[in-house]
Amino acid sequence: MSNQSRPADNASTGFMGPLNRFLERWIPSAMTFAMALTLIVALMALLITDTGPVDIVQHWGDGLAGILAFMTQMCLILLLGHIVANTGPVRKVLIALARIPSRPTSAYTFIFVVSAVLCFFIWGLGLIAGAVLAREVAVQARERGIKLHFPLLVAAGYSGFIVWHMGYSGSGPLTAATPGSFLSEALNGQTIPVSETIFASWNIVATILTIVVCGLLFWLVAPKDSDRVYELPKNVGSEEQTKIEHEISTPGDRMDASRTLVLLFGLGLAAYLVIHFARGGSITLDIVNWSLLALVLLFSRNVIEIIHLTKNAASNVGEILVQFPLYAGILGIMKETGLIAIFSDAFVSIASTSTFGVLSFLSAGIVNFFVPSGGGQFAVQGPIMLDAADKLGIDPSVAVMALAYGDQWTNMWQPFWALPVLAIAGLRMRDILGYTTVALVGSGIVMMGTLWFISL
């Protein structure tokens, strides 16, 4: 093995190498971006509108609590998804799946496809499961004497995230489908059912094409020279969940250790979901979270295990939780000072019915660098694009999905969501950035092509 201490540098070479190294070196934390964007928006409101500094501060402060319900919903998706990915049954399934790839070139594509399918349904689960699967495939391959490039395995697992906003737990489409959400005003009090966004035929086709194209690209970029392969270090093994020991000495301890209790509530919540859909209920952010909670209750052995898994998952939620009030404050400034209307008019002046989707996609991809949370981005950019779509007479579902596509697209360069994945893998962003760029290019072609086609 040429370099066992750190991954080889081939992930950051090639024509994209300089840009990848620049992004990895100069992109600050998401929290810094949120603060900087707040100052930029406040300054723009001061210079462009007739609002004074005192009123701007007032609008910002009043807006901080504007999306508290949405903030809770998004954090629950990540928290519950992380818990589900680490339950015993899911871990066993991932370890079993890790034994399937038998050839080096197919392993990378296999991990990407599994991660993408999981992210489409539940992004919080898919994001963590993709990293766990990459690690388990590396362990199984090493035991069978198959050389696999670990950074590419991890990149493939993370890149499944490229379809999260197209799917069942996509925050933008679900917010648009939720009555009384922060997008309601921009939608004139109406909602957009998921049948017109997530489950629209053109979005399903785009999702499948994205998975096929990116899966093929991972197969093509797989290292052909074994000397350029960085394998999983020998001291790293499988992380199959071990039984959580807890002293049971009191009646309260016995209740905490009861499997019956969590199973009863899991079945009850599952029954509620069946009744909800049987009576014509729609998919909303709340329903996605209750689906996840049902899985947590059904897959966990007892309350003790749920508490343990929750403590481990909480570290992935804290930073996001603190950022959402800042995004809400930005939205407060933009709404009350009239910046939304100004930006909307400017966008309408350069867009047309045929270019709106692609331009919205590109703008969302840029904004995602500054607001890496999909929910936070919709709070800032959603009202602008929906207002512009209304003025141009464009279906609002196109605006919603164009923003969703752009948000997920540049996650392949924005390191924020890769942090939990890298922590599990023990790698740096620069180790996988060259490979996630492959997913960015392939998915970008499919998504822009889709938005252009539906605008014809």
Q: Of 401, 372, 181, nearest to 286 (Cα)?
A: 181
Half-sphere exposure of 325 (CA within 13 A, CB side): 8
Helix axes 396-409, 374-392, angle to 10 degrees: 140
pLDDT at 441: 94
User: Which of 23, 15, 151 is closest to 441 using CA atoms?
Assistant: 15
* Residue 44: predicted pLDDT: 92
**For residue 451, what are its two tokens?**
């938005």
Per-residue pLDDT at 288: 87
Q: Residue 234 has what DSSP assignment?
A: T
- On whether the CB atoms of residues 402 and 449 are closer than 8 A, the answer is no
Q: Give how far Cα 189 sits from Cα of 1, 44, 177, Å.
A: 61, 28, 11
Q: Which two tokens stand for residue 55?
A: 């009123």
Q: Quote the pLDDT of residue 425.
A: 73
pLDDT of residue 377: 79
Which pLDDT does position 82 carry in this prediction? 83
Sort 234 into a burial class: Cβ within 10 Å, 0-12 / 13-18 / 19+: exposed
What pLDDT shows up at residue 13?
46
pLDDT at 225: 64
The answer to whether 183 touches 382, Cβ cutoff 8 Å, is yes
Q: What is the pLDDT of residue 414?
A: 73
Q: Which of 321, 300, 302, 261 is nearest to 77 (CA)?
A: 321
pLDDT under 70: residue ranges of the chain: 1-30, 225-227, 234-247, 316, 319, 370, 372, 415-416
> CA–CA separation, 358 vs 381, rounded Å?
15
319 half-sphere exposure, CB direction, 13 A CA radius: 16
Q: Which helix H or strand E contains 281, and what residues bound it?
A: none
Contacts of 208 (CB under 8 A, 6+ apart): none
Question: CA distances (Å), 289 to each of 75, 175, 354, in order?
Answer: 10, 13, 36
Q: How far apart are the first and last CA of the chain?
A: 53
